[in-house]
Amino acid sequence: MTPEELALAIRAALQASVDAGELSLTVPADVRVERPRSRDHGDWATNVALQVAKGAGMPPRAVADLLATRLGQVPGVQQVDVAGPGFLNITLDAASAGELARTIVDAGTAYGRGASEAGRVVNLEYISANPTGPLHIGHTRWAALGDAMVRLLRATGADVTAEYYINDAGGQVERLGGSVLASLRGEEAPEGGYSGEYVDALAAAVREAHPDILEQPTDEALRLAWDVAYPIQLAAIKGTLDHFHVVFDVWFSERALHDSGAVEQAVERLREQGHVFDREGAIWLRTTDFGDDKDRVLIRANGVPTYFAADAAYYLSKKDRGFDEKIYLLGADHHGYINRLKAIAACAGDDPEHNIEVKIGQLVNIAGERMGKRLGNALYMDDLIAWVGSDAVRYSLARYPADSPLSLDGEEMRRQTNDNPVFYVQYAHARTRRGRPAGRRGRGAPRGRLRTGTAHRRDRSRAARRPRGPPPRGGPGRPPARTAPGRAVPGGRRRQIPQVVRHLSGPPARRRGSHRPAPDATVAQRRHAPSARERPGPARRERARAHVSEGGSR
Ligand SMILES: NC(=[NH2+])NCCC[C@H](N)C(=O)O
């Protein structure tokens, strides 16, 4: 049974209860099932009872009980439990769960493709990290999820443009330029600026291009520093994303909006729509008409446009380029920005319910540790990829909804045991591929038999019988094993992940010229992975994982 079939069965059960006079409500068009947080709670969960209870004028648990009885009779459903305020936890019988695997394997790369989203013209902006430093673990979350969204939308027929907004104007310029200059002068980074190895490397490049830069007036020196450092930093970001197999169709420069006059034009267009006013010498957008908590300045009294003004021009550019839907995936610090962006859409005459969608991604950390540049343990995306491998990172991030904080366990992601979902999935993939006729990979049924029995619950596979325990990899002081494609696990007798990884993702991408030295996994490991002694115990890790919540699963 596929999740879609189960969702249809739930709808049918609701309808049957309505027809039988047990419930009175309009059956929602769209019923969803989700994977519960823990498989001990069953294979699928739904919160539909909570969703419809109000309309039915009944307590959610009573609705859930009715549904549970009916669903329990559906062929393929083994057990239905009502949990918490009215969640339904559904366990399929093993053969039926196996059927899904068979359906997927039989369909090969055609699985999930279709035309359900045909006709949608979408601009999906994500990451958009400032070009002032390397991408870090937080950006990696959006890289994995944004790219997955792009691929899913495309696979289902939508016309999607993946876009990266480069904030290469205003404050960014001063902060990076100022930080590079400070490094050249041997001074502390300015307030709000950047420091670290990469800034020093940028400084060296600037000095090489302009040996006399320190003799220049500060304004000129800042400009020269930015002009050299910015393209290097942007290229490094592109190189990291390339390495992660993330491709953007459009890299959109904020500066170009200013230079081309698009910002002023945007102000005039919004004025024509009747939403712009002047106060105290500044030019404002009346965003409060559309749910913002205060009106926003577009052009300051000194004539300098705000960051928000560029975003207004940017929105209009997306609209003019023919994108009906503009999706923004933004970092956790942008929560207060959502209403403002939606107000821009409304002021531009668009429908904020349809033409714009803003999603906020919550923070990611490693094994529950607080991380950040200030704490001296920032984890860069390059290092994360080198440490864990790009597929493992992508999979581990894409498994969880973006709107709750997430704690990743780098050691777990590398562990070659079945309690590591990354390993489990790769192992299952390898099993389904074994014995396929050459030239028919990816299509048709495998010759090797796919287990459709209870293997996913009571694992009788050889991997499960292998001795458990930490992988044969260095503890403190010893080099970590690397699961990057093609790397062997030192001393590893076990079957190694690398071949599988390569198979999943094609030949390993080569790092493109990045100004940073190739990340040293040993350093990454020492810096970011707690040693065996410091490593949090199971209880601690459980707590760290408890940060992740999936709706309707408890
Ligand atoms: N259209 C936008 N404002 N996109 C978001 C930009 C994110 C910003 N550059 C940052 O790093 O926080």
Residues of the chain with CATH 3.30.1360.70: 3-92
Rounding to the nearest 10 degrees, give the CA dihedral for residues 126, 238, 162, 360: -10
> Average per-residue pLDDT in the chain?
81
Report pLDDT for 163.
Answer: 98
Q: Is the CB–ligand 1 distance for residue 315 below 6 Å?
A: no
Report pLDDT for 262.
Answer: 98
Q: How confident is the model at residue 37 (pLDDT cuts 50, 70, 90)?
A: confident
Sign (positive/negative) of CA torsion 418, 499, 100, 96?
negative
Distance 163 CA to ligand 1 centre (A): 12
Distance 167 CA to ligand 1 centre (A): 7
Rounded to two decimals, the pTM is 0.72
Three-class secondary structure of residue 476 per DSSP: coil
Report pLDDT for 312.
Answer: 98
Q: What is the CATH number of domain 3-92?
A: 3.30.1360.70
Q: Is the CB–ligand 1 distance for residue 330 below 6 Å?
A: yes
Distance 14 CA to ligand 1 centre (A): 43
Report pLDDT for 104.
Answer: 87
DSSP class of 45: E
Q: What is the ipTM of this complex?
A: 0.99
The 8 Å CB, 24+ separation contacts for 233-238 are 233/131, 233/132, 233/133, 233/176, 233/198, 233/202, 233/515, 234/131, 234/166, 234/168, 235/513, 235/514, 235/515, 236/134, 236/198, 236/514, 236/515, 236/516, 237/129, 237/131, 237/134, 237/135, 238/512
Distance 237 CA to ligand 1 centre (A): 15
Distance 288 CA to ligand 1 centre (A): 22
Q: Which of 510, 549, 529, 523 is nearest to 239 (CA)?
A: 510
Q: Is the CB–ligand 1 distance for residue 308 below 6 Å?
A: no
Distance 268 CA to ligand 1 centre (A): 23
Q: What are 282-339's pLDDT values in tens digits?
A: 999 999 999 999 999 999 999 999 999 999 999 999 999 999 999 999 999 999 999 9
Q: How confident is the model at residue 509 (pLDDT cuts 50, 70, 90)?
A: very low
Q: Which of 195, 129, 168, 148 is nearest to 333 (CA)?
A: 129
Mean per-residue pLDDT, 114-119: 94
Instruction: Kindly report the protein residue whose alpha carbon is nearest to atom 11 of ligand 1.
Output: 129
Q: What are 53-95's pLDDT values in tens digits?
A: 999 999 999 999 999 999 999 999 999 999 999 999 999 998 8
Q: Is the CB–ligand 1 distance for residue 312 below 6 Å?
A: no
Report pLDDT for 38.
Answer: 83
- Candidate ranges 223-237, 369-383, 389-403; pick with highest mean pLDDT: 223-237
Q: Are 178 and 158 spatial neighbours (Cβ–Cβ below 8 Å)?
A: no
Distance 367 CA to ligand 1 centre (A): 27
Using only C-alpha atoms, the chain has a radius of gyration, in whole angstroms, of 27
Q: Is the CB–ligand 1 distance for residue 128 below 6 Å?
A: yes
Residue 551 has pLDDT above 70, yes or no: no
Q: What are 458-472's pLDDT values in tens digits?
A: 344 444 443 333 333
Three-class secondary structure of residue 58 per DSSP: coil
Instruction: Kindly report the protein residue whose alpha carbon is nearest to atom 12 of ligand 1.
Output: 129
Instruction: Kindly report the protein residue whose alpha carbon is nearest to atom 1 of ligand 1.
Output: 311
Instruction: Give the residue, out of 330, 359, 381, with the most ligand 1 atoms within 8 A of its beta carbon, to mutate for a pocket test.
Output: 330
Report pLDDT for 435.
Answer: 59
Distance 447 CA to ligand 1 centre (A): 49
473 vs 370: which has the higher pLDDT:
370
Q: Is the CB–ligand 1 distance for residue 331 below 6 Å?
A: yes
Distance 129 CA to ligand 1 centre (A): 6
Token readout for 102 is 């068979």
Q: Is the CB–ligand 1 distance for residue 164 below 6 Å?
A: no
Q: Are 198 and 515 spatial neighbours (Cβ–Cβ below 8 Å)?
A: yes
Atom of ligand 1 nearest to the CA of 129: 11
How far apart CA 504 and CA 441 sit, in angstroms, is 12
Instruction: Give the residue, out of 128, 254, 255, with the most ligand 1 atoms within 8 A of its beta carbon, to mutate for a pocket test.
Output: 128
Phi, psi for residue 453 in degrees, rounded to 5: -80, -140
How far apart CA 362 and CA 549 sit, in angstroms, is 12
Q: What are 418-434's pLDDT values in tens digits?
A: 889 999 998 988 887 77
Q: What are 492-507's pLDDT values in tens digits?
A: 333 333 333 323 333 3
